[in-house]
């Protein structure tokens, strides 16, 4: 392993396990992990009048007519706009936009698809505020990436105007865990344990069919351009690969951005990895170009 900081990051993850699988303990553990990188003093969460809890994140100099609708990760069980503030601020700053970070309902208190309903409501609110669809991008990491895809499909199926593009960071789009990388990368990816996935899926879906609930297995035609970023050492590597392949096969545009040796969640830890910054900026460049912003 030659990537500077990667061994230290893996050690950090494995040295700080959650206290228990109870949601409260998992949320406290995740919030503590995400504090490994300090949040810039100018990064703030500003409350909105959105129909669901959502917060503006506005970097200095941002074009406020352009918006990244951000859906945070955390296996649909943990995470919040606060845990992802540093990452989303960095993404929006490089893209030259502001972000709307959605505090969607979490499982197990709220079964799937409550989170998707909240994401769709936030998008509808942006439209009602007069933001043009061509000035909106949707982005999300991990479960938030899966939620990004599910939201795009719900918007398409409802006949709503679609956003200009979307970015995915290590998306979890297959609740069945059928990708080969769930077996080949299971031992080396410290944040995603394939052995615990079934328990999480049960808490999220609460009796709903995993295959039918997985956005990967839906018709993926008619979507806007997608940017899909993943690490080659991730359990979810094949979720990303198959997403790109299916969208392109359906006549869409999807770009796979694979980072050698990177593990799940690497974009959120620039304190350890220079790749965290470079990868986020690459995604922001994609969004910037398709939101018609000047370079």
- Residues serving a catalytic function are 142
- Contact present, 78 and 270 (Cβ < 8 Å): no
* CA 54/CA 65 separation, integer angstroms: 17
Instruction: Kindly tell me the sign of the dihedral angle through the C-alpha atoms of 175, 78, 270, 286.
Output: positive
Radius of gyration of the chain (CA): 17
Pick from 111, 261, 91, 79: which is nearest to 169 by CA? 91
Pick from 186, 172, 268: which is nearest to 215 by CA? 172
Residue 218 tokens read as 């839906």
End-to-end CA distance of the chain: give it in Å, rounded: 35
Sheet holding 63-71: strands in order across? 46-47, 54-57, 97-102, 63-71, 136-141, 165-169, 226-231, 254-259
CB atoms within 10 A of CB 102: 30
């Amino acid at each position: 392993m030659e990537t500077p900081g990667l061994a230290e990051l893996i050690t950090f993850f494995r040295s700080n396990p959650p206290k228990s699988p109870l949601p409260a303990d998992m949320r406290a553990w995740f919030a503590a992990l995400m504090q490994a990188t300090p949040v810039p003093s100018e990064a703030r969460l500003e409350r909105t009048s959105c129909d669901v809890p959502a917060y503006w994140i506005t970097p200095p100099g941002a074009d406020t007519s352009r918006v990244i609708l951000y859906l945070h990760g955390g296996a649909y069980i943990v995470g919040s706009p606060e845990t992802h503030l540093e990452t989303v601020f960095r993404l929006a700053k490089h893209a030259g936009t502001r972000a709307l970070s959605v505090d969607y309902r979490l499982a197990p208190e709220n079964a799937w698809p409550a989170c998707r309903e909240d994401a769709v409501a936030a998008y509808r609110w942006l439209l009602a505020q007069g933001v043009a669809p061509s000035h909106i991008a949707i982005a999300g990491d991990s479960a938030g990436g899966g939620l990004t895809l599910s939201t795009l499909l719900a918007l398409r199926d409802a006949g709503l105007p679609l956003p200009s593009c979307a970015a995915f960071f290590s998306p979890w789009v297959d609740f069945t865990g059928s990708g080969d990388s769930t077996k080949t990368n299971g031992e080396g990816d410290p944040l995603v344990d394939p052995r615990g996935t079934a328990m999480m899926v049960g808490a999220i879906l609460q009796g709903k069919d995993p295959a039918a609930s997985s956005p990967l297995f839906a018709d993926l035609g008619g979507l806007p351009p997608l940017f899909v970023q993943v690490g080659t050492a991730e359990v979810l590597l094949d979720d990303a690969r198959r997403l790109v392949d299916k969208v392109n096969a359906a006549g869409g545009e999807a770009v796979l951005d694979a980072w050698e040796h990177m593990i799940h969640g690497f974009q959120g830890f620039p304190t350890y990895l220079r790749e965290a910054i470079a990868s986020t900026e690459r995604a922001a460049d994609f969004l910037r170009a398709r939101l018609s912003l000047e370079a």
